[in-house]
Amino acid sequence: MKRAVAVLAALLTAASLVTGCGKPATPDRDNGGKITVVADPALAPILQPFETAFEQANPGTDVVIGYAAGRRATSQLSAVDVLVAPAATIATVPKSSPQSLGRTQLVVAVEPGNPRKIAKLADLAQAKVAICQAAVPCGDVAYEVLSKAGVTLAKPVEVADIKEAMDKLTLGNVEAALVYRTDALAAIGQVDSVEFAESAGAAEEFQVTTLSGSPNPAGAKAFLDLLTSADARTRFTEGGFTQSS
């Protein structure tokens, strides 16, 4: 019930945001009003309420969000309007004009009650841990922080993205998962999270950009404006992001 109330509050806040700043001129005209977004799976819990709110505030639009990480995200941009992803991913996209959504850092997600009593990064050495593949941003940052800390995982379970890591944990297939704080907060009640000393150096910046080949440029800009507005940044902060001063 608490999660449902929180989601409803986020949706209403986002809706007031869009209508409060004035409806964009033509987000419902180009490409039949469809706005296609590709986003990193780590952002699903935060983006979903904005998708619904935008459509409610802009009748005739249809926001379609597909989730993919790393190269899988950038390999399918030919008919996409907006990309929301780690800065390292967006940096590979030509003619992008990214805006920052903030930074989120790694935490250790564990079963409720933390039965293995994991308290620090070194405690993962002998645990069965879900970790993103090194080829995607969440894995790159995870392996980097483990290397700097001198920790080697004896039983890593490599996954394609953060969502799969969380699924492995909640299904009981692993004992812990290295995930972003945002995802652990979104799963309160299903998992607990442990922050570790090295996590401040394991922060990932996420950005949003419209794309040069956008089939719906007005809709793309309107959705980007929503995600980068002051109230939206507050919502991102509540979801586990930190903002640059």
The pLDDT score that the predictor gives to residue 8 is 37
Q: Are 129 and 101 in contact (CB under 8 A)?
A: no
**Does 111 have pLDDT greater than 90?**
yes
Q: Residue range 85-114: average pLDDT?
A: 93
Q: Report the distance separating Cα 230 and Cα 236, nearest Å.
A: 10
3 state DSSP class of 24: coil
Instruction: Please state the pTM of the whole predicted model.
Output: 0.80
Q: Which of 8-17, 87-96, 126-135, 174-183 has the lowest mean pLDDT?
A: 8-17
Q: Residue range 43-58: average pLDDT?
A: 90
Tokens of 11: 């949706």
pLDDT digits (tens, 9 = 90+) for 146-186: 999 999 999 999 999 999 999 999 999 999 999 999 899 98
Tokens of 235: 């919502």
Residue 48 pLDDT grade (very low, low, confident, very high; cuts 50, 70, 90): confident
Residue 26 pLDDT grade (very low, low, confident, very high; cuts 50, 70, 90): low
- Contacts of 196-199 spanning 24+ positions with Cβ under 8 A: 196/107, 196/108, 196/120, 196/121, 197/120, 197/121, 198/121, 198/145, 198/148, 198/149, 199/105, 199/106, 199/107, 199/145
**Does 85 have pLDDT greater than 70?**
yes
- Alpha carbon separation from 141 to 13, 62, 138, 176, 244 (Å, rounded): 32, 34, 6, 17, 19
Q: Report the distance separating Cα 73 and Cα 40, nearest Å.
A: 8
Tokens of 153: 């995982």
Sketch out the chain's domains with CATH numbers: 2-102+206-238 (3.40.190.10), 103-203 (3.40.190.10)
pLDDT digits (tens, 9 = 90+) for 196-210: 988 877 788 999 999
Q: Residue range 52-57: average pLDDT?
A: 90
